[in-house]
């Protein structure tokens, strides 16, 4: 058996439910994994405080997918910061051997410019180009319901696999000649901690001190509030049970991790009935992570599950449609 191919996906969007780029890279990942490729996904919005360390993850990659969403102008700050880090801290000798496939979906004008930006940046870094894809997608259902679009995505993933597997050559780019003239910084073998210290955030001492103080304050607060009080758990369960509005045909299991509490609140919805408790061996369709304050805002009608996710106050993984359903089956009121 040959050596397994490694492909990393770096997603520079905001993780929104209706982001068409997420659909594309999810489908590409499925195809690559069917071809026995090892795929690692890095969501830059989740890694925003350690983006400067991510060039280290290129070490074992044969190819990468740079995926961005154009929401108003350009490829977004997270992706630009990652490319900056590759320029400043990346191993150029390793990057020269890595193929890159750009994926840019736009909900406004600019998908072609975004794709060109990624391709140009990677070639300046010395990397090898792959044929990418871009498109204007106003509504994700355009992708989900169109078999021809899905076929295009699958073929693109297969072509990337062939390009890397066959180590296809490409003509040299003029960017390389320019880079040799203007770029004289030597590669520095830094630890992730040293790289982080060189970032614009960590170099700002006031920012670091403020972050440490915030972390200490949050840790102290949630140790007090999330200490496993049985009364709090019972009140939370009663609140969910009281606000439950059955929806015909809906069957879903949820896990909600609140703050630092290790035991999740599980919600099992089936045949118009609800089982709500802490703990249990539920294989959840949706897993949610949120702080207690956010859950309180939802329970008292000041916030919805979808708004909390869109604003970044709540993280989730699983079926996005099931997340939407939460706001339909739980109608919380400020009482």
Task: Give the predicted TM-score (pTM) of the model.
Answer: 0.56
Q: What percent of the chain has pLDDT over 70?
A: 82
Residue 113: is its pLDDT beyond 70?
yes
**187 and 297 both lie in a single domain:** no
Q: What is the DSSP letter of 53?
A: G
Nearest to 23 by CA among 144, 155, 130, 111: 144
Phi–psi pair at 195, nearest 5 degrees: -60, -40
Is there a contact between 245 and 273 (Cβ–Cβ < 8 Å)?
no
Q: What is the pLDDT of residue 180?
A: 58
* Number of neighbours of residue 83 by Cβ within 10 angstroms: 23
pLDDT band at 218 (very low <50, low <70, confident <90, very high): low
Is there a contact between 256 and 240 (Cβ–Cβ < 8 Å)?
no
Q: What is the mean pLDDT of residues 277-288?
A: 82
Cα 309 to Cα 298: distance, rounded to the nearest angstrom: 11
Helices 111-125 + 174-182 axis angle, to 10: 60
Does residue 335 belong to any structural domain of this protein? no
Does residue 1 belong to any structural domain of this protein? no
Is there a contact between 260 and 297 (Cβ–Cβ < 8 Å)?
no
**260 and 325 both lie in a single domain:** yes
Cα 15 to Cα 166: distance, rounded to the nearest angstrom: 33
Residue 184: is its pLDDT beyond 50?
no
Is there a contact between 60 and 29 (Cβ–Cβ < 8 Å)?
no
pLDDT in tens, 39-86: 999 999 999 999 999 999 999 999 999 999 999 999 999 999 999 999
Phi–psi pair at 278, nearest 5 degrees: -95, 130
Range of the domain at 208: 201-225
- Better-scored residue on pLDDT, 59 or 322: 59
In our burial notation (b when 16+ CB lie closer than 10 A, e otherwise), range 99-118 reads bbbbbbbbbeebbeebbebb
Which CATH number fits the domain that encloses residue 235? 3.30.1050.10
Token pair, residue 301, equals 């009608």
Is there a contact between 137 and 106 (Cβ–Cβ < 8 Å)?
yes
**258 and 170 both lie in a single domain:** no
**23 and 110 both lie in a single domain:** yes
Does residue 334 belong to any structural domain of this protein? no
């Amino acid at each position: 058996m040959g050596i397994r191919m490694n492909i990393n996906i770096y997603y520079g969007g905001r993780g929104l439910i209706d982001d068409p780029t997420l659909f594309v890279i999810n489908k590409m990942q499925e195809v690559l994994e069917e071809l026995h490729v090892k795929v690692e996904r890095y969501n830059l919005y989740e890694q925003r405080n350690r983006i400067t360390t991510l060039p280290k993850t290129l070490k074992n990659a044969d190819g990468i997918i740079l995926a961005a969403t154009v929401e108003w102008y350009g490829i977004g700050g997270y992706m630009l910061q990652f490319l900056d880090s590759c320029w400043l801290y990346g191993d150029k000798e390793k990057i020269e051997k890595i193929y890159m496939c750009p994926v840019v979906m736009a909900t406004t004008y600019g998908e072609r410019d975004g794709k060109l930006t990624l391709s140009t940046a990677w070639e300046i870094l010395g990397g090898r180009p792959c044929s990418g894809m871009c498109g204007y997608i106003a509504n994700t259902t355009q992708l989900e319901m169109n078999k021809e679009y899905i076929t295009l995505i699958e073929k693109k993933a297969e072509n990337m696999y062939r390009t890397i597997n066959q180590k296809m050559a490409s003509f040299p780019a003029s960017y390389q000649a320019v880079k040799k003239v203007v770029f004289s910084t030597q590669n520095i073998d830094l630890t992730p901690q040293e790289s982080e210290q060189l970032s614009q955030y960590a170099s700002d001492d006031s920012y670091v001190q403020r972050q440490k103080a915030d972390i200490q304050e949050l840790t102290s607060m949630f140790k007090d509030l999330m200490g496993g009080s049985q009364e709090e758990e019972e009140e939370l369960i009663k609140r969910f049970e009281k606000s439950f509005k059955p929806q015909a045909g809906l069957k879903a299991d949820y896990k909600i991790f609140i703050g630092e509490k290790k035991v999740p609140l599980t919600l099992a919805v089936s045949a118009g009935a609800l089982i709500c408790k802490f703990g249990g061996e539920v294989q959840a369709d949706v897993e949610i992570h949120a702080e207690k304050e956010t859950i309180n805002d939802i329970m008292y009608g000041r916030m919805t599950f979808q708004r909390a996710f869109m604003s970044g106050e709540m993280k989730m993984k699983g079926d996005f449609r099931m997340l939407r359903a939460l706001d339909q089956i739980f109608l919380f009121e400020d009482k």
